[in-house]
Structure 1
């Protein structure tokens, strides 16, 4: 073969490879709020007969992710609050999702080692003993976070001028989180290593290599369960934020943060913070339980914190899960008919909320894949209840549906800003 022919062949090969590299690829981004903590579906709250207890649900999350999200590229999990569950999910899904990141991963390398630290330290002991005493004597049956904190506040005073909220402000944040999320016995359990906390409860799983790692708490001075976000860059996908935002915990504002005075204001502040942190990124995805439900003209979707969604949309984000209902009635991702939620809400004429979102900016959304009626974006992750007398029965892991969005990714979307 002469040199000219060899050069021509090489040129054609390079051109062919470039065509392949530039070829648009479809990616699937999913989010799921697992609500893995003992106070969720607590036997004291009367739901123990219709939903699955924490220990049982936790043991099935890895299997549910592997079986239901085989084709998914990136999964943002929320509600994985304890490191023992984080460890189970990371190791149980690593063949399908070899890359992961959380607040308990090394922020420089992304490597993960199971935590060896109890959530409460000796510096917290006096305060924890005071909380445990009140918990045992007055508030042991309160299961909702707002009712639990409210009971402690109303029932137990450390002295004439110092309340339980003052005690919480002096405890470490992981210690407070452990106490509020619940344990087997009482607050004293939080001195045990097995209750080591994964701050914010976030866990991101990926099929593709994570090249940049970032994590950050929202700028609240102190709160009962810390919220934040993971901000990563992933090969063949691009920039992804995995987050959980402030929920509405009831009519009475119960929190120990010092920066807001309502759940609405706190959620909006977090939305604005995410907009600010992503404002220089052209292509970006924000996935998670935003606890934001939009105002829709179709369907029986209850609104919540709609101004937070307005902040995202003003910044150029699309909300495919809500937008997919242009020709049909909307379907909830957190539904009042679910066993976990049906007695907790009294909202007539509404089916539930759309709390779970995959917001997209800069990517092309494959819209026909986001219709819930086609079963493409809304997945009920379930556990199998083995009842000897009844046979196998399927129950949801949480009241939330897993949702996912299909996007098209070009090389430029994830190679941008690579040095």
Structure 2
């Protein structure tokens, strides 16, 4: 067992030679979380005048990251390997370290845009699902937005044999490709002969960027033993050996229904119930990990001035163990042109939580005024940037 004096000496060494002094901000780390919404479909499901502008929004995000003073970035909804590659390469001078489900164990990202990828979906079975959907009026095939709940429910009701065969033969990569593309892209992005045009799927859509080296990296799916339509989870890493564990998180939407197949859909009859399980899993995994920081899109948040609550009971699963600094504005807003429909509201669902001797300072909404053509924002979410202050070194 180390004596207290030795522990203090070790802490001083970490502070002197670790990340924090090196960055010029002793004991501080600037973090950013942003749901980029880089789907290959229009984000505006209720506005036909807004077209698919994924590449333009991606490039605007890259420009923002190059100028940002953030030192650690958690991105959600970057589902395509080609986009992961472009972001990682373009910001590598600012963020030389990165991690996703596509990264190798040595931290390298294999080539994405120059590799001929096998199709995510079995072409013949996907065509059978598509034909059945058209014949039953579930879709027209000309949709420019990704399929919503009504389309999925119609397909499951009328084409269960076909969709079950697709799940059995192609699994989650195919489902991920379908849910992140518009139907008109299915046979160029998800099925066909091996090609560089086919998407290599970054299933959870998570990407971690860091100014300092990452170690002990892991990707964790919340339901690894189930076939998920929307696989969610987190990336876990330590930053520059300074004992700070970080998790880049995306939890399932808080909705009163589920589209998942049995047994997942049976065990959790709504996405709200599934969300509660996922957040409890985060608590179980990180409640004893100190110091730690969890940042991302948790899809729940409390009521605040001019902001509605969304799944506050689920949100309190997190706040019963972790602390946070709530931003003043909504991160998912009805004033955002991409957002509309039955479940659109002003909510704060993107957060930075900490555990142990860490404080969240100066949390604020960002990427709200950054625009692309037509005056549109970079995503249907806004980002959250905060300063983390580690109050003392942990001697354990």
TM bucket by the smaller chain?
A: 0.7 to 0.9
Shift of residue 280, structure 1, vs aligned partner: 2.8
Aligned to 1:234: 239
Aligned to 2:76: 78
RMSD across aligned positions (CA): 3.0
In structure 2, C-alpha distance between the alignment counterparts of 1:197 and 1:18, rounded to whole Å: 38
2:311 is the counterpart of 1:308: no
Aligned to 1:64: 64
Q: Is the 8 A contact 2:253 2:271 kept in 1?
A: yes
Q: Which one of the candidate residues 22, 30, 40 is aligned to 1:38?
A: 40
Aligned to 1:212: 216
Aligned to 1:171: 170
Aligned to 1:389: none
Are the structure 2 counterparts of residues 85 and 277 from structure 1 closer, same or farther at C-alpha, using a change threshold of 3 Å?
Answer: same
Are the structure 2 counterparts of residues 257 and 87 from structure 1 closer, same or farther at C-alpha, using a change threshold of 3 Å?
Answer: farther
Aligned to 1:319: 324
Are the structure 2 counterparts of residues 79 and 156 from structure 1 closer, same or farther at C-alpha, using a change threshold of 3 Å?
Answer: same
Aligned to 1:105: 103
Are the structure 2 counterparts of residues 254 and 203 from structure 1 closer, same or farther at C-alpha, using a change threshold of 3 Å?
Answer: same
Aligned to 2:370: 382
Aligned to 1:266: 274
In structure 1, C-alpha distance between the alignment counterparts of 2:370 and 2:378, rounded to whole Å: 5
Moved over 3 A (4+): 16-24, 115-122, 134-138, 141-144, 154-157
Are the structure 2 counterparts of residues 257 and 92 from structure 1 closer, same or farther at C-alpha, using a change threshold of 3 Å?
Answer: farther
Larger Rg: 1
Gaps of 5+ in 2: 1-9
Are the structure 2 counterparts of residues 99 and 411 from structure 1 closer, same or farther at C-alpha, using a change threshold of 3 Å?
Answer: farther
Deviates more, 1:139-148 or 1:304-313: 139-148
Deviates more, 1:177-186 or 1:229-238: 177-186
Are the structure 2 counterparts of residues 19 and 175 from structure 1 closer, same or farther at C-alpha, using a change threshold of 3 Å?
Answer: closer
Are the structure 2 counterparts of residues 408 and 258 from structure 1 closer, same or farther at C-alpha, using a change threshold of 3 Å?
Answer: same
Are the structure 2 counterparts of residues 219 and 313 from structure 1 closer, same or farther at C-alpha, using a change threshold of 3 Å?
Answer: same
Q: Which one of the candidate residues 326, 343, 347 is aligned to 1:353?
A: 347
2:289 is the counterpart of 1:281: yes
Q: Which one of the candidate residues 389, 395, 401 is aligned to 2:382?
A: 401
Q: Is the 8 A contact 2:43 2:380 kept in 1?
A: no
In structure 2, C-alpha distance between the alignment counterparts of 1:320 and 1:266, rounded to whole Å: 25
- Count of matched residue positions in the alignment of Structure 1 and Structure 2: 364
In structure 1, C-alpha distance between the alignment counterparts of 2:134 and 2:196, rounded to whole Å: 22
Deviations 1:198-226 (A, max 9, x none): 11000000001112211111125111121
1:201 is paired with a residue whose SS is coil
Shift of residue 398, structure 1, vs aligned partner: 1.0
Shift of residue 48, structure 1, vs aligned partner: 4.4
Q: Is the 8 A contact 2:245 2:290 kept in 1?
A: no
Shift of residue 153, structure 1, vs aligned partner: 2.1
1:334 is paired with a residue whose SS is coil
Deviations 1:155-197 (A, max 9, x none): 435xxxx353564354321011101211573433313543111
Are the structure 2 counterparts of residues 237 and 66 from structure 1 closer, same or farther at C-alpha, using a change threshold of 3 Å?
Answer: farther
Relative to the length of structure 2, the TM-score reads 0.82
Shift of residue 31, structure 1, vs aligned partner: 0.2
Deviates more, 1:170-179 or 1:238-247: 170-179
